[in-house]
Chains A and B, each alone.
Chain A
Amino acid sequence: MLSIFIVLKRVSLIGDGLAHTAFGGLSLGYYLDIIPLWAASIVVVLGSIGITKATRSRSISSDAAVAVFLQLGLASGIVLLSLSHGFGVSIESLLFGSILLVNIDQIITALTVLAVTLVIVFVFYKELVYTTFDETQAKAAGIKTWFFDYLLAILAGIVVIASIPIVGVLLISALLVLPALTSIQLSKSFKQTVVLSPMFGLTSVVLGLLLSVMLDTASGATIVLVGLLLFGTVLAAKRVGKIWSAQNLKPT
């Protein structure tokens, strides 16, 4: 559901930036021997605020701001790893995720984040839509667009934190982007897009999981590949549909 706003606001790479920032935060948590999820959450929220502040001040573009935080998170995470001799946790699972190794705490975290996201999107739906539609017009209408920019970025951050165990740092942005891109191809209204996007996300996860068990492949990557396949299929079907309609409209 969040992915629609992220894609339409043209901040699709924010998931990548925040995921790499989270990697740095997780590494920091392990290094300092504090609960890594809490350390990562704090670092990611700070990262969300930093990216949004840099973009809104117009000192750098949003993609450049994301790139800065991405490199900062990744580099600091690798340095912290090299300063230690392993944390007793698989770095591979952090980078690539493994839904089959997700524990009960991570499931509870994910469900909590889902509930919080649903409530926030429900309460502020119309303002989020307007600020996504056109920030200047929303501001001219008296809407505090800065609040919703920060809200969206922080929400994206906590969703990234909850999703890393499933798909990993390297692939999380795909889960944030693909469902929305797919639903936009099919929908005839914004409301339809909002309904279809989480359905495509859920389909990718369920199908991807089943396939990864059957084929014994990495679950995170399989989920993302299913998402890409769905997107490609919808795009191709739409193209074929247009060609077919055009052919049928030709005079005989």
Chain B
Amino acid sequence: MSAVASSSSTPAVQLQDIVVEYPNGVRALNHITLDVFHGDLMGLIGPNGAGKSTLLSVILGLVAPTSGSARLFGRSISSKSLMDVGYVPQNAQPADRQFPSTVFETVLLGRVASAGMFHRLGKRDHEKVHSVLSLLDISDLSDRKIGELSGGQMQRVFVAKAIVSDPKLLLLDEPTSGVDSKSKNEFYSTLARLNREMSLTIVLSSHDIGAITSLANRVVCINRSLFFCGETSDLTSSSILSKVYDYPVELIHHTDHA
């Protein structure tokens, strides 16, 4: 699988010297500078507590950096720029698993921000939901209540919700945690297809180094500080990953057989 990279001049995401320090003095991110280009499928890897979720939260405007600047599509982060961003959070599920909404109603929520405050969701929005459910092969789940879904099904629903507004950028925070291997592989195939067919820029954080390095065209390795940001093919040294994880890691390259 290879990701599609575009030559658009303004990066989708520009992070310049980002520092995030919490009131208790803990520094979650330490001078991170990186760009995400249009069409990238970027993998974000690092151990627990490395700041992966914090980095995504900075891009989403959920966490204000202590210093540094973050820009989305060449603009400062605002409600307007966030309309072009889809987000799948870690352990994606509703705040209350008993929330009485169907899969269709849940995915429809992804159209709320783009519809505008005083506009009602209409036929066009409903058609878009049906189209996205079909794209992700979950049309048969449309009338099921979300609390009844398995982990893998829930992930697909939240991806559907994230892409139903036709975003330019999709951020996923450890989307396959708690999901079985078969569902994981299907999920990664879906992401690769979205990147390829919709030219959707994707940033995906994960512990699954093998999946990331085979899926993504660019990789970022962080553990509060930036250890590597570049083409996946340039990540050839195990020592970088060992430094990131502070633990011996061996990178084994598999070659495809014709």
Contacts and interface: CB of A to CB of B under 8 A. Distances in A.
Interface of A: 8, 10, 123-127, 129-130, 132-144, 184, 187-193
B95 interface: yes
Among B94, B100, B120, chain A packs the most CB atoms within 10 A around the CB of B100
Given A126-B121, A130-B109, A142 B101 contact: no
A183 B171 CA distance: 35
Interface in B84-123: 85, 87, 89, 94-96, 98-102, 105-106, 109-110, 112-113, 115, 117-118, 120-121
A116 B223 CA distance: 51
Given A126-B115, A127-B112, A140-B60, A133 B102 contact: no
Contact of B87 (A8, A130, A141, A184): A141
Interface size class of B (residues with CB under 8 A): 20 to 34
Contact of A190 (B101, B112, B118, B121): B101
A133 B113 contact: no
A142 B101 CA distance: 21
Q: Which 4 A-B pairs have the closest CB atoms?
A: A142-B79, A142-B82, A141-B113, A190-B101
Contact of A133 (B80, B85, B106): B106
Given A126-B121, A129-B101, A140-B85, 16 more contacts: A8-B99, A8-B100, A123-B118, A130-B109, A134-B89, A137-B89, A140-B82, A141-B110, A141-B112, A142-B79, A143-B79, A143-B112, A188-B102, A188-B143, A190-B100, A190-B101
Among A126, A129, A187, A191, chain B packs the most CB atoms within 10 A around the CB of A126
20 contacts: A126-B121, A127-B117, A129-B101, A129-B112, A133-B94, A133-B99, A136-B89, A137-B87, A140-B85, A140-B87, A140-B89, A141-B110, A141-B112, A141-B113, A142-B78, A142-B82, A189-B101, A190-B100, A190-B102, A193-B100
Nearest to B119: A126
The binding surface of chain B is classed by DSSP as: loop
B198 interface: no
Contact of A184 (B83, B89, B100): B100
A142 B113 contact: yes
B82 A141 contact: yes
A133 B109 contact: yes
A242 to B, nearest CB: 13
A191 B121 CA distance: 14
B135 interface: no
B249 interface: no
A142 B62 contact: no
B96 A10 contact: yes
Nearest to A123: B118
B126 interface: no
Contacts of A193: 100
A133 B107 CA distance: 12
A136 B79 CA distance: 14
Given A126-B112, A193-B100, A133 B95 contact: yes
Contacts of A188: 102, 143, 145
A138 B109 CA distance: 9
Contacts of B89: 134, 136-137, 140
Contacts of A187: 100
B105 A190 contact: yes
A108 B59 CA distance: 49
B171 to A, nearest CB: 8
A12 to B, nearest CB: 12
Contact of A142 (B83, B102, B120): B83
A129 B146 CA distance: 15
Contacts of A123: 118
A123 to B, nearest CB: 7
A35 B94 CA distance: 44
A143 B121 CA distance: 15
B102 A189 contact: yes
A62 to B, nearest CB: 13
